[in-house]
C-alpha cells in the first residue's frame, strides 16, 4: 500500500476517504459518499475506483446489498475468510457514526478501537465518542451487541466496566464524568434481557454508578440518537443518547 496520503496523484476528497477507512476499517460506497458530503454517487464511485487502481485501497469479495465494500490495501480483513458478522460490525460502526453526525451535526468526535485513547484498551468497547453542546462535553462507550455472546459473558463485560470505573484510568481522557455505556442490540427481546441484567447488577453493593443506555440497531438508525433510550440509572426520566 502507498503510505503517503498527501500524494499529488490523489485529490483532497480521496485523502479523506483513506483517513475514514483507517478509522472504520470497512466502508461501502454509500458510506463514503455520506462521509465526504458529496451528492453525486457516480463521483464517489469514480474516486474509489481510482484509489483501487492506484493501490491505496482494495475491494472485498462481498457486498452489502448491492454496495461494494472497501478497505485499505494493507488490511488483512480483505479475504474470503472474514466472517459476515465481522463485516457487519465494521459497517455498523460507520452507520452509527453517520446517524450521530446527522443528529449532532459537527459536535461528535468518534474513535474506534484503532484510534481511541490507549487507556480504553483494557475494556475494548467498539467505539468511544464525545458530544459537545454549549461548551459541555458528554462522553460515551459504544457496545455493538450482535447477540452472539451469552448473557453470562455480557455480565462479565459489564462487571469489567465497573472495575474500570474504580481503577480511575478513564480520568486521563475524560476527567469529570465516567462515559455512559450505549449498548446497541439486534432485537428488543435481547435489549430487555440486558436491561434486567444491569438492574440486577445495580442491586449489588460493589457495582459502580455507571449510566447505561440500551437500544436496538433499527431504533437507533430509524429514530435517531435523540429517541428514548431504555435506562438512565438514578433518574426517573429517560433520554436519548445525546
The reported pLDDT for the residue numbered 180 is 92
- This prediction has a pTM of 0.86
Query: What confidence tens digit (pLDDT) does each residue in 125-156 have?
Result: 999 998 887 777 888 999 999 999 999 999 99
| 219 contacts 185 by C-beta, under 8 angstroms | no
Identify how many contiguous H helices and E strands the chain contains and give both numbers: 7, 8
Task: For residue range 183-232, list pLDDT tens digits in order.
Answer: 999 999 999 999 999 999 998 878 999 999 999 999 999 887 776 665 54
Report the DSSP pairing between strands 27-28 and 67-72.
antiparallel
> 183 has which bridge partners?
143, 214
> Are 15 and 6 contacting, i.e. CB atoms less than 8 angstroms apart?
yes
Asked whether residue 37 carries a pLDDT value surpassing 70, the answer given is yes
Q: What whole-number percentage of the chain has pLDDT above 90?
A: 52
Q: Is 230 helix (H, G, I), strand (E, B) or coil?
A: coil
Report the 10 Å Cβ neighbour count for 17.
26
Output the pLDDT for position 48: 94
CATH number of 12-82: 1.10.10.10
CATH no., domain 86-223: 3.40.91
157-166 pLDDT, tens per residue?
999 999 999 9
> Locate cell 463514503: which residue?
32
Residues carrying CATH 3.40.91, the chain: 86-223
Question: Which has the higher per-residue pLDDT, 200 or 116?
Answer: 200
Domain with CATH 1.10.10.10 in the chain: 12-82
* Residue pair 32/17 in contact by the 8 Å Cβ criterion: yes
Copy the grid coordinates of residue 50.
481510482
Identify the top-confidence range among 58-67, 219-228, 231-240: 58-67
Q: Among the ranges 88-92, 119-123, 224-228, which has the highest mean pLDDT value?
A: 88-92
Amino acid at each position: 500500500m502507498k503510505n503517503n496520503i498527501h500524494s499529488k496523484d490523489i485529490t483532497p476528497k480521496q485523502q479523506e476517504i483513506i483517513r475514514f477507512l483507517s478509522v472504520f476499517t470497512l466502508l461501502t460506497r454509500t458510506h463514503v459518499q455520506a462521509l465526504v458530503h458529496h451528492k453525486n454517487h457516480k463521483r464517489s464511485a469514480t474516486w474509489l475506483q481510482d484509489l483501487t487502481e492506484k493501490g491505496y485501497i482494495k475491494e472485498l469479495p462481498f457486498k452489502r446489498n448491492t454496495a461494494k465494500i472497501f478497505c485499505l490495501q494493507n488490511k488483512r480483513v480483505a479475504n474470503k475468510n472474514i466472517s459476515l458478522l465481522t463485516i457487519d460490525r465494521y459497517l455498523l460502526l460507520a452507520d452509527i457514526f453517520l446517524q450521530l453526525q446527522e443528529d449532532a451535526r459537527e459536535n461528535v468526535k468518534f474513535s474506534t478501537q484503532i484510534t481511541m485513547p490507549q487507556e480504553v484498551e483494557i475494556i475494548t468497547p467498539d467505539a468511544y465518542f464525545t458530544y459537545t453542546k454549549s461548551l459541555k462535553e458528554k462522553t460515551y462507550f459504544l457496545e455493538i451487541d450482535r447477540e452472539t455472546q451469552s448473557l453470562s459473558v455480557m455480565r462479565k463485560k459489564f462487571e469489567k466496566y465497573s472495575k474500570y470505573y474504580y481503577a480511575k484510568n478513564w480520568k486521563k481522557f475524560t476527567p469529570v464524568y465516567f462515559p455512559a455505556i450505549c449498548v446497541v442490540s439486534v432485537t428488543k427481546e435481547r435489549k430487555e434481557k440486558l436491561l434486567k441484567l444491569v438492574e440486577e447488577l445495580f442491586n449489588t453493593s460493589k457495582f459502580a454508578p455507571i449510566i447505561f443506555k440500551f437500544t436496538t440497531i433499527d431504533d437507533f438508525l430509524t429514530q435517531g440518537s435523540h429517541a428514548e433510550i431504555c435506562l438512565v440509572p438514578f433518574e426517573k426520566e429517560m433520554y436519548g443518547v445525546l
